[in-house]
Amino acid sequence: MTSHQSTQTMKPATAAKKLGVYLEATPAEFREGVVSRAELNALQADPPQWLRDLRRDGPHPRPVVAAKLGVSISGLARGGITEPLTTEQIEALKQERPEWLERERATQGEVRKETARLKQRKAESADH
């Protein structure tokens, strides 16, 4: 008996998400095909120029924009940011420091503190 392993493939949207890039900014051949697990691993291990450029300059998808700004995705929406942003636009927001960004960063900081507190509490109760 021989074992046959089928090739796992994913939609371009899934691959773009895993690569942390905005699908609409990827080359047409990427958007129009399917991506195998091996191809995804190859893209991650040795990114082609288009992928390096996208990761460096954007436009970036909302999860990446949120992480670069230090806020949640919901915080972006509350701040009126619903479209992908370039690295230049993100840096400009960091410089401008609009009120919504400062408020959302503070909120995110509180969420992180509470998460850490709950994790610590859980660890302490597991020890007893």
Which tokens go with 57? 């300059």
Residue 43 has pLDDT above 90, yes or no: yes
CA distance 23 to 29: 11
**Band of the pLDDT at 126, cuts 50, 70, 90?**
confident
The secondary element (H helix, E strand) that includes residue 125 is helix 99-127
Arithmetic mean of pLDDT over the chain: 90
Tens of pLDDT, residue by residue over 77-123, are 999 999 999 999 999 999 999 999 999 999 998 988 999 999 998 88
Amino acid 1: pLDDT: 46
In this prediction the pTM is 0.77
